[in-house]
Every structure is written in structure tokens, then in C-alpha cells.
Copies of this chain bind each other. A is one copy, B any other.
Amino acid sequence: MIDKLEFLLALAREKHFGRAADACGVTQPTLSAGVKQIEDTFGVLLVNRGSRFQGFTAEGERVLDWARRIVGDARAMREEVHALRHGLAGRLRIAAIPTALAMVETLTTPYRARHPNVQFTVYSRTSIEILTELENLEIDAGLTYLDNEPLGRVTAVPLYTERYRLLVAADAPLGDRKTVTWTEAAQVPLCLLTPDMQNRRIIEQLLRDTGVEPNITLESDSMVLLYSHVRTGRWASVMPARLAASLGLTESNKLRAIPIVEPEASHTIGLVAPAREPMTPLTAALVAEARRVAPLLAD
């Protein structure tokens, strides 16, 4: 029964019978039969089909909700029993928004010191993807904004405050300043993340609030690409203070990270995990680690 519910979850994720079957490691007829069997036992159609997948029925959405819960609990049960025997072990799947990727280390390093048998998979994701993948049990926890856009049903642990810096070459315009205003920043050609990222939406809003149309010359969903441009000293960017610091971008003295004021905007970044209680032991340990680390990151 539980494996059939996993079929449903895969189908919701992939929106395609064939791919969902692949994801579950079975053939397409097997997955079709599994879904059909759930429908038969409930006596209700769960999936709208018309020669192709057309979404779930109202009943299907409800079943999906329960399926997420039940499958999640079943996994948590396995994990907990395993932990009782062999200590914490397994793989923790974490997703972080690009600007928080460099901060994942502050959690994983002490976690691994405490639980050496745990392995990590870290994904770079938008804040919206983090929330849906959390819902769909595709990740165990996320690092994202806590205070900007609505979160939904999650456990949140605030970790640190994101403040913004203009990253610019020392010999470029504005490069010699102690602080710059958002109005000034809006007039420099910038390279930023793409608009599907919340960080971009936040920064763009702050720039627009000045009344000046910002000049966003280059955008990318990859931090590495932005770094490589900024490091040439010929591009400017806006990025969180902590990120610039933890990547050592300003150590060469070629680049400067100048506080942007008027207003001195800030947003809270934190760990999010499913609101389900109890959590899986691996996730619970990560939340505990976050609570432990948070005071050390406060400014």
C-alpha cells in the first residue's frame, strides 16, 4: 500500500506516468496499475486522464496530502529504527537559496563532527522550489528567507540576518566610498541573480524604491558565474555581506564590499524543515544544530 502511495507522489512530482515510473524504478504499466488499484480500493477516480496526464481530481489532491504524510512517516520510522541500532546514519538532503549556499557549511561541519556517518546532498534552489520540495519529501530541510514571502507549514529556525553590500572594484566609480545609497547603486551596471530568485526580487525592489530604473546588465541563476564576473573587477553586484565575506571576495584588496544604506535593508535567513512532529532523527538533529549555531551567527 505504501509503495502505491509513493507512485502517487512520483506522479504528482513528474506529472507524467512514464517518468514517474522511472523515478520509482518500475515500468509504466506497473505504475499505472498501482494508481488504478488505489482508485479501485477507494472507488474514486484520483487522476484526470485523457490520453495524457491531466492533473489530479479533488479527491486525488486529498489523497495526495495524506500520501505525503503517510510516506513521510514511514520513512521516518525506518530511519528512527535504524538510528536506534547504528546511531545516526543516512543521507540528509538540504536545499539552499544561492545566496545562502556558502552558509550551509556552518551547519554541516558541526553536524558531521557530531554524526560522522551522515552524508549530505545539497541542492541550489529558489525559495519557492525549496518549499514545494519540502512538501513533496524530496528534500529534508532548506535554507531560505523566513520573513519576506509566506512560508506555509514548516518549522523555521532563524539563523542570521542578510545585509546588502555593493561589490565593486576599488578603482571603479563608487569604489572609494565608505557607504553608498541604493539610489547610487541603481545607477551602476549590475550583475544579479535571475528574477525567479527571491534575492533578486528583494534587491530589485530596493533599487526600484529609489525611483531610478536599475541597470541590470547581466543576470544568471549561477552564483559561480556572478562571482567570476565580479572578480574581474569590471562588474559590480549587490550581494549579502556574509556571502562576500565567507567567499573571501574582498581579500585581494582589488574588490570592495561597501554597505548600502538608505535604507539599511535586512532579511532573516533560516533553516526550514517539515512541520511534521516528530521529525526524522536526521532532520531533528539538523534543527538542533541550527538552534545551537544560530547564536554564534547573530550580529
Contact = CB atoms under 8 A, between A and B. Distances in A.
A112 to B, nearest CB: 24
A77 B84 contact: no
Contacts of A78: 42
B58 A80 contact: no
A145 to B, nearest CB: 26
B42 A82 contact: yes
A85 B59 contact: yes
The dominant DSSP class at the A interface is helix
Contacts of A69: 73
A69 B80 CA distance: 14
A3 B41 CA distance: 14
Contacts of A63: 77, 81
A1 B74 CA distance: 10
A2 interface: yes
A80 B85 CA distance: 37
A53 interface: no
- Report the contact-size class of chain A (Cβ under 8 Å from the partner): 20 to 34
A173 interface: no
14 contacts: A1-B1, A1-B74, A2-B2, A42-B81, A43-B82, A44-B81, A44-B84, A59-B85, A62-B77, A66-B77, A70-B70, A70-B73, A70-B74, A70-B77
Nearest to A82: B42
Interface in A46-84: 58-59, 62-63, 66-67, 69-70, 73-74, 76-78, 80-82, 84
A72 to B, nearest CB: 10
A73 B77 contact: no
**Closest 6 pairs between A and B when the two form their complex, measured CB to CB:** A66-B77, A1-B2, A42-B81, A70-B73, A59-B84, A59-B81
Contact of A58 (B43, B77, B84): B84
